[in-house]
Structure formats: structure tokens, C-alpha cells
Structure 1
Amino acid sequence: MGSETSVEHTDSREGSVDWMPLDNAAKIYPVAGSGAVTPVFRLSVTLREPIRYRELDDALRRVVDRTPYYQVYIRRGVFWYYLERHRDYPTLEVLPDAPITSISLHRRREQLIRVLVRDRTIAVDVSHVLTDGYGGSVFLGSLLVEYLRQLGHNVEPEPPLLDPDETPDPQEYDDAYQRMYSPGVRPAAMLAPAYHIPGLPHVHRYRVIAGRMPLAAVLAKAKERGVTLTEYIVATKIDAIKQVHDQQLRQTIKPQHSIIRIEVPVNMRRVYPTRSMRNFSLFVGPELDLSLGDYSFDEIVRRVHHDMHIQLDRNQLLRQISRNVGGE
């Protein structure tokens, strides 16, 4: 990994690429981490030929230089955590069988991005302290294009992928939550507790559940009901959880909560255009309150469709930002 080398920084709440306070979404993770949940996600791509390590390592160094806001360690200050730039590079690691690796937020020299390789597959494990799925996918896509260039292929990165020959745009390490926050907007209300499926373990809960479905057939089902693919899949999940809830009732077990809610991530860059490569996502939560009675599947689909349209309204999302940022 090399020796630890920090860079000079100015102690400012606004930060710079060398020193950045955690963004609004990242602030919860250092204080809320547990053995049950690790704030890490994995993205991967499988190529047709085995990965060549030397070329991939050369590509990784160029992409890391292009994304200095990811070449950081997490640090604990007097009042808050922050990210500090260093000059180390991630070391290529063997991709394990585990669905995710743990990235500690309390070890001093822990890389917040891991690049994992096995056979024909390149994977990145990314701490949510750094970014969301969008930022991770741009990083992986940029790495893939640069790797192909290192192999001699004539390919060029197209937006939103990053070109290692370009200089980072300051907006890429901007805290977009702070930029979009409006103090005069009434915060969104806190949500009522939701039903949880009983019997799920509270530790070591990560496991791989794989499934396949014919895309054309599922799209046709969604189109029949006049909804999007996402809305149809969310309705299907709510219906499945409802069946578990109903089974408990048949066993004379009264569940503690009657609301079934699914969190659906929203890439806020589609609502508020920004080049930020840090976290900038929220959630909408279509829900079903079973205390109001039974629902057919078609009724669930309609409920999800209208719920998501209301919650995806730009002003409703702004209320979420007001609640989250205003509470700092």
C-alpha cells in the first residue's frame, strides 16, 4: 500500500479535494456501523478474456489520479469526521466468494475503495462514505475503459465516464445536498415504523440471492397495468411481504406493525443536475397500510404507482433534503 502520506489542508467546513467534511448521507455511517450492516456496495463486470493485472494496475493508478476525492482516508476530528487526501493507491486483491467485503471506518489507513479481480471479472467494493451507486458505476466504467486503452484498444470514455487526461471539475467533489438545501422549505415528516419479516438474523445477514426473469415478459406485464418496470417489481415485493404478514395472522400471531414499505433509491442527479461524484441520492418509500383492509395485487400496483409519482415530485424530494440537512 506504500507509506502514508497526507497532504496539506486548510481547516474549513467547506473543504477542498484535499480535505472534505462528510456529505449529508455519509455522516451516519461512522457512528451507526454494526456487525449486521456494513456500508459497502459492490459493482462488477465480467469480460471475455482473463484480466491482465499489470495493465489493470496501470489503469487503476490513472483513474485514481483522476478522482482524487476517492483517494482519501476517513479521519475523526474534534466534532466531526472528515476525509483527508493521501497519495496511496488501492492494491489489486483477489475477488473472494463472499458477496461483499468489510471496509472499516475506524482503521487509520483503510482504503475506502477496493478493486478485486478473479479470472475475467473486475469488481469494486465501495464505502458509502465516499459515494453512492452512481459514483461507483462511473468509477468502475472509467476504470474499464482505461484498462481497455492500456491493452491497446481504441476506445474513449463518453460522459458520464471520466477521462484520466482531464483535470477534475471542482463540482465533482461538491456536497450537492448542501448546495440544494433551502432553509425555508418545510421538512418532510418522519415515517411511522414499518413491518419487518420475522426470523431474519441480525448479524451476518449478507447472502447472495440470484434470480432470472425474461425482461420482455416482465415489461409486458408492467405495460398491461400502465406502470414502469420499477413500480411493477416494487409492487411484487410488497405483495410477497404481505403474504408473510397474512400468514402470521392465520397463525394468530399479530404483527407489531401494519405498514409495509419498500425503500426505492433515487439518483438525485436526474432531479437536480450536478456532476457531483459523492453521495447524492435519496429514497422514496411506497407503502401499504394493512390496517385499512386487504388489497388485491392490482390494487397494490396502483397504490405503488401513485405513491411513487407523488414522492418523486421535485418539491417533495426537496423536503427530504430539508429534513436531512436541516437536522445536522
Structure 2
Amino acid sequence: METDWYKLDSAGKLYASTVSSRVSTVFRLSVTMYKSINAKFLQEALEETLEEISSFKVIVKKGFFWYYFEETKAMPTVSKEHYYPCSNLFFKGRNTFPFRVLYYNKKISLELSHMLTDGTGGIEFLKLLVRNYLKKEGVSVSCIKKERNNFNFDNAFFRYYEKLVPNWQDTLAKAYKLPIRLDKRGVYHVTTGKLKIDSLKDLARQYQTSITTYLLALYTEILIDIQEQNSNKKKKPITINVPVNLRNFFESNTLKNFFVSVPVTIDPRLGTYSFEDIIATISIELKRYLNDKQLKTLIARGVRGERNFLLRALPLLVKDWISPMVHAKFGENLYTSSISNLGIISLENELEEHVERFEFYPPPSIGNKIKAGVISYKGDMYITFGNLSNDRLVERMFFRKLVKEGVQIKIETNRSAY
């Protein structure tokens, strides 16, 4: 019987050719239980989960023109966490899984390459893993409906690509970059702030805006201040990359990547912005982008880039050489940083009482040395900054600003001292 194989989706193909020792393309989703993790049960739960979501039971292979996934009978092994998060999954000459499952004390961490899926797909896999793990622990889950059959592994970008829709037309200027040095290879500093969602809602309500817009405005204001304090050169735009889950706008149950990056820009060259000005500008930017018509232009740009005849004709060896440069010029160089909000995670009542929290660590990137990942669960929000440098200014300014506004925050970090 022939081995089944899968093409990478439109986003996955780009990520595959940009992997390096510093750009792992790996993000982390973690769940913390109220009891210590049983490694044996976790391994059994992983194997059961892969039987139900078999599209994840693949290894990464190199073709002549593209990377691809190949089904495998091999089984990944859970392991105890002992290194920095979001480290590289791929090594030349080896067939590797595009994800790993780690545990430490009460925490289970699922680390995935963006070659395989996005945050939404990862959350679905992790939630099923948690269900199966708790079942091994003796928790009754018989009343929980299994809805995994609704999911698929389709390339939703192709499904919603329309030939007559023009490419995204906006031209972005090269964005301001934080003047910070990279730490040693493999080191990824993470700092998480835990706060009550309601406290942030109250703040956002004062400015008649959403939580997402408020967080973007707060972060933008900090980046403007840092540029003002540290740069004697000509000012540059502050542009934040906001990943948008396209499933909220187009019907799809795909577990592959299905998101686009929306740019939110404030240009200090135009003058001084008050906090209210920043909120108003960001609100207009988001309203302009977040509709199915405008998002179709972003889908069109990605699909046409992938289908470009010259690009398709290039051997993989050449793609691996030029893709990082193209991604830097037309992607990373256009952004100062990124904030990705996976929203509110919900579990069935039978499971919630056993699960304390969720966390989301964004993938490390040289072009955007600092990124933020946001996730919420049971009334709490967890804001995590991933940082490739040892500079702590951004995280400190961000959380101190929230504290100054009356928000109580508990800070946790993997740094030796915060």
C-alpha cells in the first residue's frame, strides 16, 4: 500500500523555507493542571489523540520543489521539558514530526511548527489531548460529545481564493525596529502577565473600545515612547502585525493554517499622538481590514505568490536560500512587533475543574525580536511576551502601564531575575 502524503498549505510552505536556528517557526500552547502530570498517561493520551486526528501523525519530508508531509507509523514520544521553549524541531537529514509534547510538574506543553497548523488548529489538538489525558486519570468524559469528525485538513486558502479579486494593494514603509541585541542562539525569554479579563474590559470601556484595540494601543504607545527616547535618527512607522483567524469570516473547519497578517500602523512622522488618537487610528485600521472583502485580497496575495510560475519552478534548494530574504523584505521588515490573541478557551464543565490555565507563546523571529501572545481562560487573561534578547524594557513598560491603570497583574518569567 502506498504511503499517503500531504501538501503544505499556502502559509506552511513559506514557513518551511524560513526555518533556521533562530527562526524556529515553533509556537507553544500550554495547559496547567491542578495535579502533577503522569508521563505514562500522557503518552497513552497522545497516541489516542493521534488516532482521532491522524492528520497530525506525519513527518516532514523534502521534495525536489517543496517540503511535504508524509504519513508515518512511528509514534512521537512525550518528554520532560528541560530547555527553552519554542526551540527548533527540524534537523537536516532527519525525518521529524512537526510538533512535540512536553511536560513539567503540572504543565503539558504542545509545541507546533507553523508548517503544520496555526493557533486554532493547535488548540483543538491540545483540547482533545487534555480530554484523553484526564480520561486516563479516571475523569468521566462519557457525556462529552466527540465532534472531531467535523474537522478536515483542507487548504482553505485555495477554497476561498477568487481569481478576480485583486491583490492586497497597501504599501507599507519599513517599520521601526527595537534597538536590542539578540541573546545566544536557542535562548528564548518568556514573561507572562496574568490578569482579570473584567479589569481590562473596564479600561477598554472607558475609551469606548474593545480589549484587543486597547491592548494594541497600549503596546503602540510604549513603542512610540521607546523610539522617542532611543532614536536620534529619522522616525519610522510603528507597525504591529495582528494575525487574524480567517475561520471567523469564512466557514471552515480546517486544522491547517488559515490566517492572515493584518498590519496596524501609527506613523509618528505625522505628529504627536495622544492615547485617544492611537485608539481612534487603530479602530479605523481594524475596521478597514476586518471584513470578508478586504481579507479576500490578503488571501489572493498569498495564493498568487505560491502559484507564481517562476517560484514553483525553482528547486527547493534555491527556495530555501531566497525565501528568508523575501520574507524579511516583504514581511518581517514591515513590522515592529506582533500581538496574536487566540481568544477565550472553553472546556466542558467535567474538564474545567481539573484545568487551571492555558498559555500561548508566540514563535521566535529575528525580524521581530519581541512578540506577544494572548489567551484567556476562566475569567483570566494571560499575556506572554517572547523575547530573543536579554532586554526587558518592553515587558516592564507594558505591565507597569497596566498596573498604573489599576490592573492587578501576577508576573511569571523564565528569566533568572525579573
State the TM-score, normalizing by the size of structure 1: 0.87
Partner of 1:300: 278
Say whether residues 1:57 and 2:38 are aligned partners.
Answer: no
Structure with larger RCO (C-alpha < 8 A, sep 6+): 2
* Residue pair 1:72, 1:83 contacting (<8 A) in 2 also: yes
Q: CA deviation at 1:222?
A: 0.5
Partner of 2:130: 144
Partner of 1:12: none
State which of 230, 233, 256 in structure 1 corresponds to 2:212: 230
Q: CA deviation at 1:134?
A: 0.7
Q: Report how many residues are paired.
A: 304
Tell me, what secondary structure is at the counterpart of 1:115?
Answer: strand
Q: Which moved more, 1:92-101 or 1:230-239?
A: 92-101
Q: CA deviation at 1:97?
A: 4.6
Task: Report Cα offsets for 1:138-174 as digits up to 9, x if no partner.
Answer: 1111010011122222125867x755xxxx55x6110
Distance 1:135 1:31, change over 3 A: same
Q: CA deviation at 1:112?
A: 1.3
**What one-letter code is carried by the residue in structure 1 that aligns with 2:247?**
R
Q: Which moved more, 1:58-67 or 1:231-240?
A: 58-67
- Structure 1 unmatched runs, 5+: 1-6, 10-17
Partner of 1:40: 26
Distance 1:34 1:66, change over 3 A: same
Q: CA deviation at 1:56?
A: 1.9
Partner of 2:173: 192
* Residue pair 1:74, 1:105 contacting (<8 A) in 2 also: no
- The equivalences for 1:240-279 within 5 A come to 240-249=222-231, 253-255=232-234, 258-279=236-257
**What one-letter code is carried by the residue in structure 1 that aligns with 2:191?**
I
Tell me, what secondary structure is at the counterpart of 1:208?
Answer: strand
**What one-letter code is carried by the residue in structure 2 that aligns with 1:191?**
L
Say whether residues 1:8 and 2:2 are aligned partners.
Answer: yes
Q: Distance in 2 between matches of 1:193 and 1:235?
A: 20
Q: 4+ runs of 1 displaced by more than 4 Å?
A: 156-159
Q: Distance in 2 between matches of 1:273 and 1:78?
A: 33
- The equivalences for 1:100-111 within 5 A come to 100-104=86-90, 106-111=92-97
Tell me, what secondary structure is at the counterpart of 1:274?
Answer: coil
Partner of 1:210: 192
State which of 182, 186, 190 in structure 2 corresponds to 1:201: 182
* Residue pair 2:244, 2:261 contacting (<8 A) in 1 also: yes
Distance 1:178 1:203, change over 3 A: farther
Task: Report Cα offsets for 1:190-243 as digits up to 9, x if no partner.
Answer: 432111111242764621123244432221110111111011000011000000
- Structure 2 unmatched runs, 5+: 307-418
Partner of 2:103: 117
* Residue pair 2:78, 2:100 contacting (<8 A) in 1 also: yes
Distance 1:94 1:107, change over 3 A: farther
Distance 1:186 1:238, change over 3 A: same
Q: What percentage of aligned pairs have identical amino acids? A: 31
Task: Report Cα offsets for 1:100-157 as digits up to 9, x if no partner.
Answer: 2321164432121111112211111111110001111111110100111222221258
Partner of 2:153: 173
Distance 1:78 1:97, change over 3 A: closer
Q: Which moved more, 1:56-65 or 1:231-240?
A: 56-65
Partner of 2:72: 86
**What one-letter code is carried by the residue in structure 2 that aligns with 1:216?**
D
**What one-letter code is carried by the residue in structure 2 that aligns with 1:264?**
V
Tell me, what secondary structure is at the counterpart of 2:192?
Answer: coil
Q: Distance in 2 between matches of 1:174 and 1:277?
A: 8
State the TM-score, normalizing by the size of structure 2: 0.69
* Residue pair 1:259, 1:287 contacting (<8 A) in 2 also: yes
* Residue pair 1:263, 1:283 contacting (<8 A) in 2 also: yes
Partner of 1:324: 302
Distance 1:123 1:157, change over 3 A: farther
Q: CA deviation at 1:21?
A: 1.1
Q: Which moved more, 1:50-59 or 1:176-185?
A: 50-59
RMSD: 2.0
